[in-house]
Every structure is written in structure tokens, then in C-alpha cells.
Amino acid sequence: RSGVAPFLGRVGMQAGGEAELVDRENAHGVGLLQEPFGKGKGERGAFPSLPEHGNHQGEPAILDPWGKGTFPEGCPDDPFGIVAEEISPFADSIKQVLATDHPILEEAAKHFFAQRQGKQFRPTIVMLMAKACSTKSAESLHEGDTYSKQAMLGQITEMIHVASLIHDDVLDEADTRRGGEAVHKLYSNKVAVIAGDYLLARASVVLAQLHDNEVTEIMSTALESLVQGEIMQIRTASDDLLDMVTYLRKSYHKTASLICDACKSCAILGGHAHDSEIARAAEAYGFHLGLAYQIIDDVLDFTVASDVLGKPAMADVSLGLSTAPVLYAAQSNPELVPLIKRKFKNPGDIDAALRIVLESDGVDKAKALALFHAEEAARAASRLPEGEASKGLTSLLHIVLSRNS
């Protein structure tokens, strides 16, 4: 048992009062998530009661993405540029890691890194966190092997993420990803599944090369969380489809867990004890950023056209998924409930869901929930040593909230 310290994050406030913190220890004993998830049937489906602007303790807001629309004061408007030089070789390094004697497997596994890299959001988080957590001066940052190991962690995180995308597209029968064809459409379902597995296998090899048992255990648990999130999505019971707690748990497992665990691991590789204030702040940042990111992703499913989003609009509803905008809309529009319970399978259900959500306050409430978590992440970033990197982490939150793709 590694004895990683409890993470004191919150998913939000339960309706009607202070949330009860419930310890949930994962199977490997790597940390405790203390989450305000209700224990009994009587508490199921509770929705966060959110402040108008700021955090649940009444502290003033740090972020204002839809008001002034400007970056927080003193924060850079291009956080990606802070670590662009470090991240530049990542794609080539990953392609070297994925080299194999099987050309089709190698081509499929390398597809995202060769064709559509995007902004490499997760590696950027890791490398900003590495700089923010560093006890060294900027001039001595590259001395020793600490920073290079953190760079390896950034590559591991991206490989795990891309593998999950490849597998998700097979399970969701998606035709496109990042504006291009999904891997399984270019090759086949079998090749795509094996390519995703190969990415995970190679990521595990690189993870072992870090020679840090604690980080290996934490990142292995991130893999477990991805699987848990996917099975939650596939096998959600009918009654749970209306449950905000189930939605938030699934969002944690599918999206936030990898970011959260990578941030925690980055701090540990930087020499901070697992129960130190810095490691806990890093973990809290990743947890809340990950939830904010997923909630905004679910909002965009309703508000952005497919050609901008890089994937079909209303994709989640088409898969029978009830996300934050739908759940909030159903609070005041009971006609949505039967559609949610039958997973939008009847003709006209998807169009009806879109109309009801857009005519309700579902999108606005979901955005408020994302802002709540982004504010919590910003406060976690403020507990890191002050500098360009920690301010860059706050800027990333503004980008997450204001993005349209």
C-alpha cells in the first residue's frame, strides 16, 4: 500500500445544504477521493447547488470567461507557449516508442501523432505542472533527470489518452475524430482495438522506465478508472440515467482521473511527498480541471456545429447518454424523463431533446457547474509556487471554459 494522502476535493454542494464527504478508496489503495456522493437512495440524484459566481465558500471569482471574456489578471494569454519547446519533440518521441515490425499496427497506433496532434492539451498540463512544482530555478530546471522523467510522464499521459480515443470510437461507432476519419474507419475495428491496446502496452513500458513505484501505481489506477468509466457508460441502469451523481462519477473516471493522476504523479516526480501541500494542490487542480473540461465538452454537444466540433453534434444523445445539460433541463421539463430512460431510441427523441434543452436553462446551469469546478481548480493552482507556470495553469482554465471545439 502506498498510503497516498486523501484528496480533499469536492464535486459540488448537495442541494439543500453542506455535502457529506464520503471516502472512496480505490482498489489499489492509491489515495482516497473524498467526494460528496450520497450514500442512500434518498440522496440519489441530488444536484449541486452552485454560487452565482465564485466558489462555495463565498470567495470572489478568479475566472470570468463569459463576462469580460479576458484572461485572469496577470495570467498569460498563451499558456501553451510556455512549454511549447519542451513539448515539440513529444510526437517524434512517441512515434519512436511505437516502432514495431508490424507496419499496419504501427501505422494505426501512430495515426494521431502523425496526422492530427492538436494542441496536446494533457502534455501541456503535465509540463506546466512540472515547472510549477519545481524547486529549481529556471536556469537549473534541466539539471538531473527529474524534468526528463516528467516529460516522459507527459508522453505517457498522451499515449493513454489517444488509446482511449481509439477504443471509444470503436465502441461509439464514431466515423470521425478531430476532423478526420476515426482509426477504425481507416483500418478496421480489430486493428483499431489492437492499436489502442498496443499504445497502452507501450505506455506501460515507458511508465516502468520511470523507476518510481508510487507513480507507477497511481498511473496504473488511471488506466483502471478509464475502464470503469467506459463500463459505466455502456451499462448504466435505467434509474441511474437521471442521477447527477452517476454522471459526475462517470465524468471523473472517463476524463478527470487521467489528468488528476498525471498532475499528482508530476508533483511526486518533482520531489514532493504524496501528502505534501504541493502534491495535494496538483491533484486537486487536475481533478477539478478534468470535470470542468468534460462538462464543457457535453455543453458543446448542444451548442456547436459538427464541422467546428470535429465530431457529430448531439453525439452523446445519439448514444443514449444523459449529460449535464440534459439532466438540468429535465429538472424543469418532465417530458424529458421518458426520453432519457429509453435512451432517446424512439424516432424524434433526439430532435425533441435538443429543442427542450436549448429552450431550458440546462446549458446555462451546466456552464455554471463547469465554472464552479474551474474556480476550484484555479484556487488549487494558487496554492502552487507563484510563477509563470502556475499562472499558465490558471489560463488553461479560461481556455477550457471559453473553447468552442
Tell me what pLDDT residue 366 has.
94
| pLDDT for position 315 | 82
**Under 8 Å between Cβ of 269 and 209:** no
pLDDT (0 to 100) of residue 138: 67
Domain boundaries, the chain: 6-41+49-402
d(CA 318, CA 332) in angstroms, rounded, equals 22
pLDDT of residue 239: 78
Give the integer Cα–Cα distance in Å for 191 and 185. 10
- As beta bridge partners, residue 14 has 48
Residue ranges, the chain, pLDDT below 70: 1-58, 67-68, 114-118, 137-140, 142, 175-179, 305-313
Question: How high is the pLDDT of residue 316?
Answer: 85
Each residue's pLDDT tens digit, 175-229: 666 667 778 877 788 888 988 998 999 999 999 999 999 999 999 999 999 999 9
CA angle 88, 295, 156 (to 5 degrees): 30
Fold of 6-41+49-402: Farnesyl Diphosphate Synthase (1.10.600)
Model confidence, pTM? 0.85
24 grid coordinates: 472512496
Rounded Cα distance between 24 and 12, Å, is 16
The per-residue pLDDT for 48 is 55
Taking the C-alpha atoms of residue 269 and residue 214, their distance in angstroms, rounded to an integer, is 9
